[in-house]
Amino acid sequence: MLLKNTKAGTGDCTIGEFIEDVVCVMVDEVHMAKADALKTLLTSVMAHIPIRWGLTGTVPKEKFESQALLVSLGPVIGKLSANEIKKLAVYVYKFGGGVPSEAPAVEAPAAEAAPQ
């Protein structure tokens, strides 16, 4: 909407003004970044933003889909399998109608000492 308003010359501020001091873009379900609207934003007005994180559990199988992500967000620099996430005690909650204070309390296991 903001991009459309900027192109039309309507609105209180331009998209450029809105994202002027943005230094990081995070895209959840990054496999959807192949969608034209998101790809357009990431490769045009957001192209100068230096830090780009993409999160997905669904890695694109088609080469052209992977290429669209490479162009929009850059190369993959790290991966974690579901098993690795469990070992790191990373917990993710989805809050339907609740609030964060209603989330079940989970105590992470004590961290092991890093090998020397």
Does 107 fall in a domain? no
Domain span including residue 37: 2-89
Does 70 fall in a domain? yes
Does 96 fall in a domain? no
Does 100 fall in a domain? no
pTM of the model: 0.57
- Measure the CA–CA gap between 80 and 2, rounded to whole angstroms: 34
Asked if pLDDT for residue 98 goes beyond 60, the answer is no
Does 97 fall in a domain? no
The residue behind tokens 């790191």 is 88
Beta strands in the chain (DSSP E): 24-28, 51-55
pLDDT digits (tens, 9 = 90+) for 38-81: 888 888 889 899 888 888 877 778 888 788 788 888 888 888 88
Does 94 fall in a domain? no
- Measure the CA–CA gap between 18 and 41, rounded to whole angstroms: 13
Does 6 fall in a domain? yes
Number of domains making up the chain: 1
pLDDT digits (tens, 9 = 90+) for 19-45: 889 999 988 888 776 667 788 888 888
3-state secondary structure of 59: coil
3-state secondary structure of 80: coil
Q: Which two tokens stand for residue 42?
A: 């990431």
